[in-house]
Amino acid sequence: MSTGVRLEPIGPENVDDACGLELLPGQEKYVASVARSLADAYIHQEMAWPRVVMAGSVLVGFLMGAFPGPTQADARTCGIWRLAIAAGHQGRGYGSAAVEAFCAEARARGMRRVLVQWAPGGSGPEGFYLRLGFRPISSGPGRETTGEVLLT
């Protein structure tokens, strides 16, 4: 994991910076904004896990995961719903470190696998997730691919 990278809760001290996170041009079609993600987290409070990605004292990104709610059928599966690393901080290992930190949290909660979905497209995140060990388990023409990584 990149040195000093950690996931922290969203709060009054960082929500404005999180909502101001800017991606590289064109990436916004692959991930919802932080503001939209926080609205989704509010709606799905029973399972959403929104976090800022911090490198030392600098906010470098946003990750929203989901852990099983009380009525979810598969209590050993969790997912990464959103991952966005700020334009000026991409390519430094922060995204990989954020996924590793989420997987560590998942292991600590007794999860056995992590799911993620990505949209098709040449500049999308597919290669990133494949390099991290996710393997595609389903997809359809023009639809998102679901990938999984098994936790050990």
Tens of pLDDT, residues 27-52: 888 889 999 999 999 999 999 999 99
Whole-model pTM above 0.85?
Answer: yes
- Average the pLDDT over 54-66 and give the result: 96
Give the integer Cα–Cα distance in Å for 45 and 38.
Answer: 10
- The helix/strand/coil state of 66 is strand
Convert the pLDDT of each residue in 85-94 to its tens digit: 999 999 999 9
Question: Which stretch of DSSP H or E encloses residue 28?
Answer: none
Residue 14 vs residues 21, 54, 112: alpha-carbon distances, Å: 11, 10, 31
| Helix, strand, coil share of the chain (percent; to 5) | 30, 30, 40
Q: Which residue has the higher pLDDT, 8 or 29?
A: 8
Q: What is the mean pLDDT of the chain?
A: 90
Per the listing, tokens 């430094």 go with 92
Residues 23, 86 contacting (CB under 8 angstroms) = yes
Give the integer Cα–Cα distance in Å for 60 and 146.
Answer: 25
Q: Which residue has the higher pLDDT, 29 or 115?
A: 115
